[in-house]
Amino acid sequence: MKYDLEPTLPAPSSTTGVIGWMRRNLFSNATNSIATLIIGYFLVTLLGPALQWAFIDSDWFGDSPAACTSGGACWAFITYRMDQFMYGFYPETEYWRINITFLIFAVAIIWLVTDKTPYKGYVSIFVLFIYPVIAFYLLYGGSFGLEVIETHKWGGLSLTLVLAIIGIVAAMPFGILLALGRRSNMPIVKAFSVIYIEFWRGVPLITVLFMASVMLPLFVPEEITFDKLLRALIGIILFQSAYMAEVIRGGLQAIPKGQYEAADSLGLSYWKSMSFIILPQALKMMIPGIVNTFIALFKDTSLVLIIGLFDILAIVQAANSDSAWLGFSTEGYIFVAFVFWVFCFGMSRYSQNLEKRLQTGHNTR
Amino acid sequence: MSTQDAREVSDKLMIELRNMNKWYGDFHVLKNINLEVKKGERIVICGPSGSGKSTMIRCINRLEEHQEGDIIVNGVELTNNLKNIEIIRKDVGMVFQHFNLFPHLTVLENCCLAPIWVKKEPRKQAEATAMQYLERVKIPEQALKYPGQLSGGQQQRVAIARSLCMNPDVMLFDEPTSALDPEMIKEVLDVMIELADEGGMTMLCVTHEMGFAKRVADRVIFMDAGQIIEENEPHEFFNNPQHERTQLFLSQIIQH
């Protein structure tokens, strides 16, 4: 017997388009319509003055508070000190060193995150192994005819980025090793990982930073002096790798046992099966959690202000107390919040994009 | 080219289990297992669920550890020595009930991974071999897809090809068709029958497909409660089962 297939019809027009969307989502029934109107009213009454203050009545440039005459936000406070907010107390003639350092990094990262660029492997090796050396000599100097610029002169956004990038890049591999260690069959490796993770997760980052900056010098001989920035960095890395380890462990545990068994049965050694089979899947699955940790780490870098490092928040706070520019702390804090938000939102969007791209339409069997 | 006559079972022992015992905690899962498999022999293992058939073949490539007795595969004794385990796993391929393909790799990459990284084959050569085996399991056109885009039957055929790419002497099949939809069982069994008919491959297959057992097995082994109850060549096994438990089992599965 033959039968005809029913034709495929387009969806009814009332369910598509802007009108359809509004009808479904905003005005689907009386209660929803009223809620929409009330929320709309508040949005307009609150957002309007905020926009007015921030954009319409604002002054953007000037070298003293006298330039701010429009009654709105005085962004001149920010733009006037922009160099300081970006570079801290780094000598002005050497700004190019910071610029080049971050320019190389930005180019390499864009290269890596863009689809279908060639030589990704070489670029990753460059970023992980060669770039840190270049960055060190550019930022710190002391060789190639570059004068040494001590880390206490570093500050602003560039310091925040140094802390965040090194923290992220270093915490990730440590986190992976700790996560594998915690699932290891070897009792000593396992015990070490568990103790390490539980210790660092049990103390607040502030305590760690205080320890690193105040207590550590008391315990080591006087001749040995660690740079304060280095101490803060080590503290951040030790602390965050414990968090990273737990996120990655979650991913490892979510991989079905069959994957481990298939890898074993093919004769893959432990490290090969981890690096080719288990970790790629576990890390992919945990992208939201990993990026969450990255974002938390990025924001936590602002805690270094309590040990006297001038990251972007600390430097803006210092500027707030400048007697020539009193009364603009709102602008200052909004600016800091905006800078943090841009970076964190960027990471968040990239992670969503990455998740979509790595989707291979699998069920996990 | 491959006919029944091509089968050759040599006298060389491929697998020996001697007085093997295994416990899960206090539970005695495998009791005094003795089994000798010659090179090129095809063995089907059946029995009720929980009888230890899967556990037994999983001991052969050390996915499970046995506590007592000896396991010798191709002359190498299976001990805690990692070197020996490595040698044995290179020789022994395994196909799982749930396929266990690597979902983040394409079909071709699934097949090439172990040859490249375990046997150190050059990539080109590994890919050529993989394509050859994918042709044998009749899905070369799926080589660049991901496992998640294939049907269960196709996935299981890829899993067979993946094991064959390591050029093993022994293939273990752990209920290869029991997770498949009925209409896909035949395509997997056909591939397995072809492999059996070619000869040379030692095969141990845990399955409930009695038709397959009758068609290819040199010996059928029946297990219950962790022991081997009966073993015989298929004709005798199905027509003249000796043990009461075997008779009950056969009467129950044939009724349907």
Lowest-confidence range among A193-202, A254-263, A314-323, B90-99? A314-323
What averages of pLDDT result for each successive group of 10 residues across chain B (256 residues)? 51 89 92 92 91 92 91 90 90 93 93 93 94 92 92 93 93 92 90 88 92 91 92 90 90 69
Shortest Cα–Cα distance, B147 to chain A (Å):
7
pLDDT of residue A15: 66
Report the pLDDT value the prediction gives residue B6, as an integer from 0 to 100: 47
Q: What is the pLDDT of residues A224-234, one digit of tens each?
A: 677 888 888 88
C-alpha–C-alpha distance, residues A352 and B144, integer Å? 25
Any domain includes A254 = yes
- Tell me whether residue A342 is in a domain: yes
Which residue of A lies nearest to B90 if distances are taken between CA atoms? A267
Average pLDDT over residues A7-36: 80
Residues of B in contact with A362 (CB under 8 A): 103-104, 146-148
Q: Which of B61, B149, B155 sits opposite A265 (nearest CB)?
A: B61
d(CA A113, CA A348) in angstroms, rounded, equals 13
State the helix-helix crossing angle for A95-113 and A131-140, rounded to 10 degrees: 160
For residue A364, pLDDT over 60 is answered with no
| DSSP structural state of residue A74 | B
Residues 6+ apart with CB under 8 A from B36: B13, B15, B16, B17
- State the pLDDT confidence band at A25, using cuts at 50, 70 and 90: confident
pLDDT of the residue at A18: 80
Same domain, A140 and A171: no
Q: How far is CA A267 from CA A313, B62, B85, B95, in A?
A: 53, 11, 8, 14
Q: Do A262 and A200 share a structural domain? A: yes
Cβ of B148 and A363 within 8 Å? Answer: yes
Q: Is residue A166 a part of any domain in this protein?
A: yes
Q: Do B114 and A267 touch (CB under 8 A)?
A: yes
DSSP string across A315-352? HHHHHHT-GGGTT-HHHHHHHHHHHHHHHHHHHHHHHH
Residue A262 and residue B101: Cβ atoms within 8 Å? yes
Separation CA A137–CA A148 (nearest Å): 9
Within-domain flag for A318:
yes
Q: Say whether B118 and A360 touch across the interface (CB within 8 A).
A: no
pTM (predicted TM-score): 0.83
User: Token pair 């089994």 is at which residue?
Assistant: B35
Is A266 in Cβ contact with B162 (below 8 Å)? yes
Q: What is the CA radius of gyration of chain A?
A: 26
Residue A323's domain comprises: 154-355
Inter-chain touch A265–B93, beta carbons under 8 Å: yes
DSSP-assigned beta bridge partners for residue B43 = B204, B219
CA separation for the pair A92, A82 (Å, rounded): 12
Q: Are residues A160 and A202 in the same domain?
A: yes
Q: What is the mean pLDDT of residues A299-308?
A: 88
- Residues A165, A142 within the same domain: no
* pLDDT for B1: 39
Task: List, in sequence order, every residue forming a beta bridge with B94; answer none if it has no partner.
Answer: B172
Q: Which residues of A fall below an 8 Å CB-CB distance to B? A: 256, 258-259, 261-269, 272, 276-277, 280-281, 284, 358, 360-365
Q: Mean pLDDT over all residues of chain A?
A: 86
CA distance to partner chain B, nearest, from residue A119 (Å): 18
User: Cα distance from A2 to chain B (closest Cα, Å)?
Assistant: 23
Q: Are B108 and A285 in contact (CB under 8 A)?
A: no
**pLDDT computed for residue A194 by the predictor:** 95
Pairing status of strand B42-46 against strand B202-206: parallel
* Residues A226, A136 share a domain: no
Burial of B101 (0-12, 13-18, 19+ CB in 10 A): buried
Q: Which residue of B has its CA nearest to A259?
A: B100
User: Does residue A307 share a domain with residue A173?
Assistant: yes
Does CATH place domain B10-50+65-255 in 3.40.605.10?
no
pLDDT value for B9: 67
Q: Please judge whether A266 and B98 are an interchain contact, meaning their C-beta atoms are less than 8 angstroms apart.
A: no
Asked if residue A172 and residue A126 are part of one domain, the reply reads no
Query: Which string of DSSP letters, residue by residue, matches B186-253?
Result: HHHHHHHHHHHHH---EEEEE---HHHHHHH-SEEEEEETTEEEEEE-HHHHHHS--SHHHHHHHHHH
Domain count within chain A: 2
**In chain A, which residue's Cα lies nearest the Cα of B118?**
A268
Residue A19 lies in a domain: no
What residue in A sits closest to B163 (Cα-Cα)?
A: A266
A279 and A212 in a single domain? The answer is: yes
The pLDDT value given to residue B255: 52
At residue A363 the predicted structure's pLDDT band, cuts being 50, 70 and 90, is: very low
Residue located via tokens 């210092």: A318
Radius of gyration of chain B, Cα coordinates, nearest whole angstrom: 18
pLDDT tens, residue by residue, A42-89: 988 888 888 888 887 877 887 777 777 777 778 878 888 888 888 888
Q: Are residues A143 and A247 in the same domain?
A: no
The region of weakest confidence among A10-14, A345-349, B56-60, B197-201 is A10-14
State whether A272 and B118 contact (CB < 8 Å): yes
pLDDT of amino acid B72 = 92
The pLDDT score that the predictor gives to residue B145 is 92
What does the alpha-carbon distance between residue A201 and residue A240 come to, in Å, rounded to a whole number?
9
Is pLDDT above 90 for A112?
no
Angle between helices B123-136 and B107-117 (to 10 degrees): 130
Q: Inter-chain contact B104–A261, Cβ cutoff 8 Å?
A: no
Same domain, A145 and A158: no
Q: How far is B245 from chain A (nearest CA, A)?
A: 32
Q: Coil, strand, or helix at residue A69?
A: coil
Model confidence at A32, pLDDT cuts 50, 70, 90, reads confident
> Bigger pLDDT: A71 or A355?
A355
Q: Which of A277, A280, A362 sits opposite B146 (nearest CB)?
A: A362
pLDDT > 90? residue A133: no
Within a domain: A18: no
How far apart are the C-alpha atoms of B76 and A267, rounded to whole Å?
Answer: 15
Q: Where are the alpha helices (DSSP H) in chain B?
A: 53-60, 82-91, 107-117, 123-136, 152-164, 182-198, 210-216, 234-239, 244-254
Smallest CA–CA distance from A260 into chain B, residue? B100
CA distance A343 to A241: 21
Q: Under an 8 A CB cutoff, do A361 and B146 touch?
A: yes
Query: Which residue on chain B is closest to A277 by alpha carbon?
Result: B102
Q: Is residue A81 part of a domain?
A: no
The answer to whether B144 contacts chain A (CB < 8 Å) is no
Q: Where does a domain end: A149, A168, A198?
A: A149
C-alpha B190/C-alpha B203 separation (Å) is: 15
Q: What is the ipTM of this complex?
A: 0.90
Q: Which residues pair with B18 in a beta bridge?
A: B70
Interface A:B, Cβ pairs < 8 A:
82
Residue A348 has pLDDT above 70, yes or no: yes
pLDDT beyond 90 at A278: yes
Residue A67 lies in a domain: no
- Examine the domain organization and report whether A219 and A311 are in the same domain: yes
Residue type, B168: P
Q: Which residue has the higher pLDDT, A259 or A95?
A: A259
A338 and A208 in a common domain: yes
